[in-house]
């Protein structure tokens, strides 16, 4: 079984959830745990600022309140510290910086690519420990390099100095969005999810219910995610996820049609026209493709060319 944990490294509940998952999995050797990126603070500045200073910002204060509407930010910090202590995290606890987690997510993702789940887990533990126990700035690449080296990922610092992992992390964030991940942490097995840092018994019950979850072929899953992003009105994100399918299955009708939809929805009308013209020639009975082609021509100011396609499409649905 593969468990994906979608979480932000600057989310305290991610560290608490990690400990709870470890307790839930104690003794099991049939599970692979993979960490995936999530951003709870996507507007964090590239250069970290002291958290005390950040919390004086009314917008930051409002965001913190959204995490626990019934508590003041100070009360929420006390609550989280108490829970963390109960999970053996400490004795010192608490972040010291408002820091962008982007490079940390790159490091964690690259660790999996380079050394699998075991190395990734060591890197994730190191990043979380540095941020919440040592109060270090995990947007600082020097800090991340130290974390990587301590975890046995010695090439990590060098990779971060380039653009390694940039495309990977951005694509993974799109996957999370497409799959409906809205909480850090969220445990995902197949198409089933458990949101939040749940207790070990709740995690065990969730995993028991996932035991017979069928594995979906990777290309089918990617197609579904692209369709989901279209439903979420993110055609550029859909095109990003479609790119490997367009390379591998260039002649597939469904992939080509979805790409044409995404190009149309993102106002890349010239590309949409070229794709749809070819599809109409190959599949003249596909009324949806013909309708989309007509609308594309219409938006490009080619009304006379659009008219017969729109008329045929309308007749087919009359």
Domains belonging to the chain, first-starting first, are 2-209 (3.40.30.10), 218-316 (1.25.40.10)
Whether the Cβ atoms of residue 105 and residue 38 lie closer than 8 Å to each other? no
- Predicted confidence at residue 273, as pLDDT, reads 97
Report CA-CA distances (Å) from 228 to 169, 193, 269, 293: 19, 16, 21, 22
pLDDT the model gives residue 61: 65
Q: What is the pLDDT of residues 192-210, one digit of tens each?
A: 999 999 999 999 999 999 9
Quick: pLDDT tens for 172-193: 999 999 999 999 999 999 989 9
Q: What are phi and psi of 7, to 5 degrees?
A: -155, 155
pLDDT means per 10 residues, the chain with 318 residues, are 96 97 92 96 90 80 67 82 94 93 98 97 98 97 98 96 96 97 95 95 95 87 97 98 95 96 98 97 95 97 95 84
Beta partners for residue 192, in sequence order? 189
Please state whether beta strands 97-98 and 186-189 pair in parallel, antiparallel, or not at all (unpaired). Answer: unpaired
DSSP labels for the chain? -EEEEEE-TT-HHHHHHHHHHHHHTTT--S-EEEEEE--S-TT--SS-EEHHHHTTSHHHHHHHHHH-TTS-HHHHHHHHHHHHHHTT--SS----EE---HHHHHHHHHHHHHHHHHHHHHHHHHHHHHHHTS---TT-HHHHHHHHHHTT-TTHHHHHHTTTTHHHHHHHHHHHHHTT--SSSEEEETTEEEES---HHHHHHHHHHTTTPPPPPHHHHHHHHHHHHHHTT-HHHHHHHHHHHHHH-TT-HHHHHHHHHHHHHTT-HHHHHHHHHHHHHH-TT-HHHHHHHHHHHHHTT-HHHHHHHHHHHHHHT-
Mean model confidence pLDDT for the chain: 93
Sorted by sequence, the CB contacts under 8 Å of residue 49 that are 6+ apart come out as 97, 98
Q: Rounded to whole angstroms, how far apart are CA atoms 310 and 45?
A: 49
Neighbour tally for 184: CB within 10 Å:
25
């Amino acid at each position: 079984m593969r468990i994906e944990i979608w979480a932000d490294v600057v989310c305290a509940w991610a560290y608490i959830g990690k400990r709870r998952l470890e307790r839930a999995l104690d003794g099991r050797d049939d599970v692979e745990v993979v960490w995936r990126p999530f951003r709870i603070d996507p507007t964090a500045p590239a250069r970290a600022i002291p958290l005390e200073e950040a919390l004086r910002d009314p917008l930051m204060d409002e965001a913190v309140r959204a995490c626990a509407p019934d508590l003041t930010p100070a009360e929420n910090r006390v609550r989280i510290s108490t829970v963390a202590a109960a999970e053996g995290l400490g004795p010192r606890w608490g972040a010291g910086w408002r820091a962008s987690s982007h490079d940390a997510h790159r490091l964690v993702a690259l660790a999996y690519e380079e050394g699998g789940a075991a190395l990734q887990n060591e890197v994730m533990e190191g990043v979380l420990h540095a941020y919440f126990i040592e109060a270090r700035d995990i947007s600082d690449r020097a800090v991340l390099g130290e974390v990587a080296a301590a975890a046995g990922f010695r090439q990590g610092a060098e990779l971060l100095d380039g653009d390694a992992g940039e495309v990977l992390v951005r694509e993974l964030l799109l996957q999370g969005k497409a799959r409906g991940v809205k909480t850090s942490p969220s445990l995902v097995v197949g198409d089933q999810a458990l949101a939040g840092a749940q207790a070990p018994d709740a995690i065990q019950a969730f995993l028991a219910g996932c035991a017979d979850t069928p594995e979906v072929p990777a290309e089918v899953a990617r197609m579904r995610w692209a369709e989901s992003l279209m439903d979420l009105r993110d055609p550029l994100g859909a095109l990003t996820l479609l790119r490997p399918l367009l390379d591998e299955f260039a002649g597939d009708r469904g992939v080509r049609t979805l790409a044409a939809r995404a190009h149309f929805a993102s106002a890349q009308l010239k590309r949409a026209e070229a794709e749809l013209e070819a599809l109409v020639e190959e599949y003249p009975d596909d009324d949806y493709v013909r309708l989309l082609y007509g609308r594309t021509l219409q938006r490009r100011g080619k009304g006379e060319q659009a008219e017969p396609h729109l008329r045929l499409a309308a007749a087919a649905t009359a």
